[in-house]
Chain A
Amino acid sequence: MKTKFMRAAFAAMAVLYAPMAMAQDAAPTVGDRINDIFAASTGWFVSLIFASLPGTNIPWIVGWLVIAALVFSLYFGFIQFRAFKHSIQLVKGDYSDPNDAGEVSHFQALATALSGTVGLGNIAGVAVAVGIGGAGATFWMILAGLLGMATKFTECTLGVKYRNEYADGSVSGGPMYYLDKGLKERGFGFGKIMAILFAVFCVLGSLGGGNMFQANQTHAAITGVTGAYPGWITGVLLAAVVFAVIVGGLKSIAQVTEKIVPFMGILYVVSALVIILMNLNHVAEAAREIFAGAFTGLGVAGGIAGALIQGFRRAAFSNEAGIGSAAIAHSAVRTKEPITEGFVSLLEPFIDTVVICTMTSLVIIITGQLITDPATGNYVLNEAGTAIATQGGTSGVGLTAAAFSSAFGWFNYVLAIAVVLFAFSTMISWSYYGLKAWTYLFGEGKGKELTFKLLFCFFIIVGAASTMGAVLDFSDAALFAMGVVNIVGLYLLMPVVKRELNSYLSRLKSGEIHKFK
């Protein structure tokens, strides 16, 4: 959901408003200077995280996430397919003890985690993938989403198993706790160091990908409808709203967002389905394009590898499987069996990537946004040869908007509202993840928490106002650095999950764990 890549898409939109920005940037500003200092001191870290595998243009971090997903899928015997039905029964509450009514249900944990992950990655990110990698990218995206379900299963089980439950009844969970406690339990001495490392990256990632990038996108989405105006205005407004929620305790705003976001998501999927039904005669052709594109590339830049990389990238960046954020979100559920939350969480990449991302790409393909050469059936590339030529020359969120608007003219506005709401709910979620990492590092306490919250609000303004690429690049890198630390921990702790899984499945079979309705 938060990538360098998407920033490129938005930068393209920003070019439209360049004259205004240029007037402001005539002299080197403080922002520029901060940017230079930042780039000089952190550039090595960014290049390290996003470095390509030797001889390819696949960033190794994407390979790291996809290989982990494949390892967990094999190790747990494709649990994402075996337990899919059981997962849905758990979300429906079939196995919930009625005496636990009033506690956090599986459904609530899943819905809240989803509102943190479903966002622009599903709307604009997919458009970037399909716009560069062609229809075939969809195939690889779905495959990565299906594999990512096993990663989520692993991390969320551990998140619940090793959470801290305090005397007052509140809970704290997530990679910090399972790296710390879990690795100690298995006799590894370096758990604490990894937990601290994760928490540091999590704070940085929450300020970057979970904040500045979202603010930046929100501004881009609003100006897409209203026309250009300075970014700091959006930043101050957003910061004021977020301040009211996380510092002022004005919970009603967050509560309203939490209620609207799922409906925006449903509206989005339903609109996509309607468009697909309206174009039913093109579905077979779209399916052919997706499969042919997946294995031949249909002439996209980089061929089959180009399609594959784009698909994998978008999936990994959209559903956050392996990043560790979901383990924090899912840790609050009320259950005696940590593994049940693992089952529930595996639905998250399915809904996010396999369903919602696929809808976006199907609509783009079916409405014929990508221009093909009628003679060969291959895509026609743009002048630079970097992406596929589209009707009207759109890319990123603009491509998605064009695809949906070709069926419903008013969809532009719905999309802009959806983007703002998705970005806002992602920011609220990440403010929480960042805070949990912050308090893990510095301890709980009103003053310490307030410091982080103020910092968080400040960075919203920075993110919306500036084009400080280096600061954003570093935050993005920190987000994926979370995935590096987290997945090392997951490899070391996966036998614990296996034990939980076997014990649970045998008790489920024997009837010891039974339905309540």
Chain B
Amino acid sequence: MTKPIVVAFDGSDAGRRAVSLAADLAGSSGATLVVAHVLEWSPYSFLTQEELHERHKRRAQEVSRAEQALVRPVVDDLTARGLNATGEIRYGHVAETLVEIAQAHDAGQIVIGRLGAGGLSARLFGSVAGTLAQIAPVPVTIVP
């Protein structure tokens, strides 16, 4: 059986192109799709008192917003096209968490859009797609 494909989706146009490519791949190979959305999060960031005490509430809100506005419409759309798709929302360092999701699902590959973070910030911090290409244990397809 073909291994699942993890597709990173952040709501951007590049993300949509990645989903569309992943859907084509899944359609021809019969692989299941995991639509992954990662919310950037570090347990070592600094928060104010108020943020601390409301964090649990905010997290629930953030997850449900991501679920309703981003992940579910895409999963529904893919399912309607006859594909086998699930959604996954996680917190963490984006590239590292995508790798963890891929490992958890024993995925065969990861598809991600080139997010267009160019110029100075990409030079300083590196792009998610670039980092992923370097650390992923499975093949990564970067969609322009």
Q: Does B28 contact A (CB under 8 A)?
A: no
Q: Determine whether the beta carbon of A108 is less than 8 Å from that of B57.
A: no
B59 touches A251 (CB 8 A): no
Residues of A within 8 Å of B90, CB to CB, are 101
A111 within 8 A of B: yes
> Which chain A positions have C-beta within 8 A of B46?
108, 111-112, 115, 255, 258-259, 261-262
Sample (19) of A-B pairs whose CB atoms are under 8 Å apart: A101-B90, A102-B59, A102-B62, A103-B56, A104-B52, A108-B44, A108-B47, A109-B52, A165-B56, A169-B57, A170-B57, A171-B53, A254-B50, A255-B46, A255-B51, A258-B47, A332-B56, A333-B52, A433-B49
Per-position 1/0 for A111-134, Cβ under 8 A of B: 110011000000000000000000
Find the residue from B41, B46, B57, B100 having the highest chain A CB count within 10 A. B46
Give the chain B neighbours of A104 by CB distance below 8 A. Answer: 47, 52, 55-56
Are A103's CB and B55's CB within 8 A? yes
B residues near A390, Cβ cutoff 8 Å: none
Find the A residue at minimum CB distance from B56.
A169
Q: Is B43 a contact partner of A112 (Cβ separation < 8 A)?
A: no
A-B contacts besides A102-B41, A102-B62, A109-B52, 5 pairs, CB < 8 Å: A103-B55, A103-B59, A432-B50, A432-B53, A433-B49
Q: Pick the residue among B43, B53, B62, B97 that contacts A170 (CB under 8 A).
A: B53
Which residues from 1 to 58 on chain B have a C-beta closer than 8 Å to any C-beta of chain A?
Answer: 39, 41, 43-57
Report the count of interface residues on B (CB-CB < 8 A): 26
Find out whether the CB atom of A102 lies under 8 angstroms from the CB atom of B39. Answer: yes
Residue from B43, B49, B60, B63 within 8 A of A105 (CB atoms):
B43
Could you tell me which residues of chain A, from 115 to 170, have a CB within 8 Å of some CB in chain B? 115-116, 165, 168-170
Quick one: which of A170, A172, A259, A428 has the most chain B CB within 10 A?
Answer: A170
| Given A101-B43, A107-B43, A259-B46, also A112-B57 (CB < 8 A) | no
A residues near B51, Cβ cutoff 8 Å:
251, 255
- CB contact under 8 A between A108 and B56, given known A101-B90, A102-B62, A251-B51: no
A265 to chain B, nearest CB (A): 11
A353 shortest CB reach to chain B, Å: 21
User: Would you call B92 an interface residue if the criterion is a C-beta within 8 Å of the partner chain's C-beta atoms?
Assistant: yes
- Closest residue of chain A to B60 (Cβ to Cβ) is A169
In the complex with contacts A103-B55, A170-B53, A332-B53, A428-B48 CB distance below 8 A: yes
Chain B's nearest CB lies how many Å from the CB of A435? 9
Chain A residues numbered 228-285 whose CB sits less than 8 Å from any CB in chain B: 251, 254-255, 258-259, 261-262
Give the chain A neighbours of B63 by CB distance below 8 A: 102
Q: How far is the CA of A394 from the CA of B30 in the complex (A)?
A: 79
Q: Is there an interface contact between A108 and B91, defined as CB atoms closer than 8 Å?
A: no
Per-residue contact bits, chain B 68-108, to A (CB 8 Å; 1 contact, 0 not): 00000000000000000000001110000100100000000
Closest residue of chain A to B41 (Cβ to Cβ) is A102
Q: How far is the CA of A170 from the CA of B50 in the complex (A)?
A: 10
Checking A101, A116, A261 against B49 with a beta-carbon cut-off of 8 angstroms, the contacting residue is A116
On chain B, the residues within 8 Å of A261 by CB distance are 46
Residues of A within 8 A of B59 (CB): 102-103, 169
Contacting residues, chain B, for A116 (C-beta < 8 A): 49
Q: How far is the CB of A327 from chain B (nearest CB, A)?
A: 13
Q: Which B residues are in CB contact (< 8 Å) with A171?
A: 53, 56
- A96 in the interface (beta carbon within 8 A): yes
CB distance from B93 to the nearest CB of A (A): 10
Query: Are B49's CB and A429's CB within 8 A?
Result: yes
A93 touches B43 (CB 8 A): yes
Query: How far, in whole Å, are A354 and B94 apart by their CA atoms in the complex?
Result: 37
Rounded to whole angstroms, the CA-CA distance of A251 and B54 in the bound complex is 13
Is A399 in the interface zone, CB < 8 Å from B?
A: no
Residues of B within 8 A of A107 (CB): 43-44
Q: How far is the CB of A267 from chain B (nearest CB, A)?
A: 15
- CB contacts (< 8 Å) of A333 on chain B: these are 52
Least Cβ–Cβ distance between A19 and chain B, in angstroms: 41
Chain A residue nearest to B93 (CB atoms) is A101
| Distance in Å: Cβ of A453 to nearest Cβ of chain B | 12
Can you name the residue of chain A whose Cβ is closest to the Cβ of B53?
Answer: A332
Cβ of A334 under 8 Å from chain B: yes
CB-CB under 8 A from B43, the residues of chain A are 93, 96, 101, 105, 107-108
Residue of B nearest to A429 (CB): B49
With both beta carbons as reference points, the residue of chain B lying nearest to A333 in the complex is identified as: B52
Q: Hey, which chain B residues are within 8 Å of A255, CB to CB? A: 46-48, 51
**Once the chains bind, are A112 and B41 in contact (CB under 8 Å)?**
no
Q: How far is the CB of A157 from chain B (nearest CB, A)?
A: 17
Interface presence of A309 (CB below 8 A)? no
A329 sits at the interface (CB 8 A):
yes
In the complex, residue of chain A having the shortest beta-carbon distance to the beta carbon of B59: A102
Residues 302-342 of chain A: 1 if any B CB is under 8 Å from the residue's CB, otherwise 0?
Answer: 00000000000000000000000000010111100000000
Q: Contact between A172 and B49 (Cβ–Cβ < 8 Å)?
A: no
CA distance in complex: A428, B48 (Å): 8
